[in-house]
């Protein structure tokens, strides 16, 4: 059976036709240019020349309330009832985007996983997924007597907790701008730019160069500088992965994921060539009396960019029994 699956993030909206967990057709749109979910689905149908399947699963970056998603990193809300009313669709499931990513862990090709330290994962052990993209998503996958269950969270909005003087200085800097500072404020595309901006705040020439870069291009600009060997950009990337390791271990201590911690998200993948296992694992494991426990937990980079699409399809197949 063919399904309509969507993964609506803060930057990109991915829509696909999926059959037996195989993506048959996919289109990627810019989320901020869309007028809403119904116009987006109609455009997908028109551009593919295909009638929409009767069963759909829509995953989106936002807070799920009943059959709606209230967008946090997308500029509009999603209402399942509106989709059923306006389109020839018989069934519509609504998921948080990282709820879908967690389901995707059960469908992803193992060749798409790169392990960074820890022991072999327990096949039925709890899994935690977190990912830096436009925002910072998190979810937990738990094996129960009746099968797998996903616990969606808004953990990326938990308060940032620095571990050293540099982190304290960055926290103070960001508090002056935003008041509350979450981990998402640093572990996201805009977060990478915020970190870099802090490191160059006393460099007039660097600040002048940065002011000419559009907000949407700033994360890519910092990444390009880091790849070119720019000292400040490399410091920003290192601090980004230190913070990533810190928050990944916070999540791990709260759910003890013997099945592994899984890193995904557009920014994560974009920075993968700059990833330092030493920096990440050092922060991940450095938790005092819990260091020995954390040293055993495996961490994986998920190279599959369509994890949310696979998870949406998996959830629909599960729903059909």
The single residue listed with the structure tokens 């699409």 is: 309
pLDDT band at 202; cut points 50, 70, 90: confident
pLDDT band at 200; cut points 50, 70, 90: very high
- How far is the C-alpha of 101 from the C-alpha of 94, rounded, in Å? 13
pLDDT at 207 over 80: no
- 72 alpha carbon, distance to own chain's centre: 13
**Inter-axis angle of helices 307-319 and 97-104, nearest 10:** 80
The pLDDT assigned to 319 comes to: 87
Q: Encode pLDDT of 94-111 as tens digits.
A: 999 999 999 999 999 999
The pLDDT assigned to 75 comes to: 83
Residue range 270-297: average pLDDT? 96
3-state DSSP call for residue 11?
coil
The pLDDT assigned to 203 comes to: 79
Domain boundaries, the chain: 2-103+306-319, 109-302
pLDDT at 121 over 90: yes
The pLDDT assigned to 72 comes to: 82
Query: For residue 67, with 0-12 CB atoms within 10 Å meaning exposed, 13-18 middle and 19 or more buried, which class applies?
Result: middle
Residue range 139-165: average pLDDT? 96
pLDDT at 45 over 80: yes
Instruction: Check for a shared fold between 2-103+306-319 and 109-302.
Output: no
> Which two tokens mark 104?
């995707």
pLDDT at 320 over 90: no
**CATH superfamily of the 2-103+306-319 domain:** ATPase, nucleotide binding domain (3.30.420.40)
pLDDT at 10 over 90: no
Q: Encode pLDDT of 230-259 as tens digits.
A: 999 999 999 999 999 999 999 999 999 999
- In terms of CATH architecture, what is 109-302? 3-Layer(aba) Sandwich (3.40)
């Amino acid at each position: 059976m063919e399904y309509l699956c969507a993964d609506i993030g803060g930057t990109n909206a991915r829509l696909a036709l999926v059959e037996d967990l195989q993506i048959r057709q996919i289109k990627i749109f810019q989320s901020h240019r869309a007028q809403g979910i119904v116009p987006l689905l109609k455009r997908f149908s028109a551009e593919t020349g295909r009638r929409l399947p009767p069963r759909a699963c829509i995953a989106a970056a936002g807070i799920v309330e009943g059959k709606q998603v209230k967008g946090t990193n997308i500029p509009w809300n999603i209402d399942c009832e509106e989709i059923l009313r306006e389109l020839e669709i018989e069934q519509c499931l609504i998921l948080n985007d990282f709820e879908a990513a967690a389901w995707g862990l059960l469908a992803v090709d193992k060749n798409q996983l790169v392990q960074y330290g820890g022991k072999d994962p327990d096949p039925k052990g709890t899994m935690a997924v977190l990912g830096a993209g436009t925002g910072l998503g998190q979810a937990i996958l738990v094996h129960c007597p009746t099968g797998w269950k996903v616990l969606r969270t808004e953990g990326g909005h938990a308060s940032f907790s620095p571990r050293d003087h540099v982190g304290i200085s960055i926290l103070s800097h960001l508090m002056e701008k935003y008041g509350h500072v979450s981990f998402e404020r640093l572990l996201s595309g805009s977060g990478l730019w915020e970190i870099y901006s802090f490191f160059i705040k006393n460099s007039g020439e660097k600040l002048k160069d940065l002011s000419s870069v559009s907000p949407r291009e700033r994360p890519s600009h910092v990444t390009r500088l880091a790849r070119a060997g720019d000292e400040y950009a490399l410091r920003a990337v290192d601090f980004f992965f230190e913070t990533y390791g810190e928050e990944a271990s916070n999540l791990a201590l709260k759910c003890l994921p013997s099945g592994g911690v899984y890193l995904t998200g557009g920014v994560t993948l974009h920075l993968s060539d700059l990833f330092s296992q030493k920096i990440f694992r050092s922060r991940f494991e450095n938790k005092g009396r819990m260091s020995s426990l954390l040293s055993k937990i495996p961490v994986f980079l998920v190279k599959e960019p369509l994890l949310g699409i696979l998870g949406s399809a998996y959830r629909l197949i599960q729903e059909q029994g």
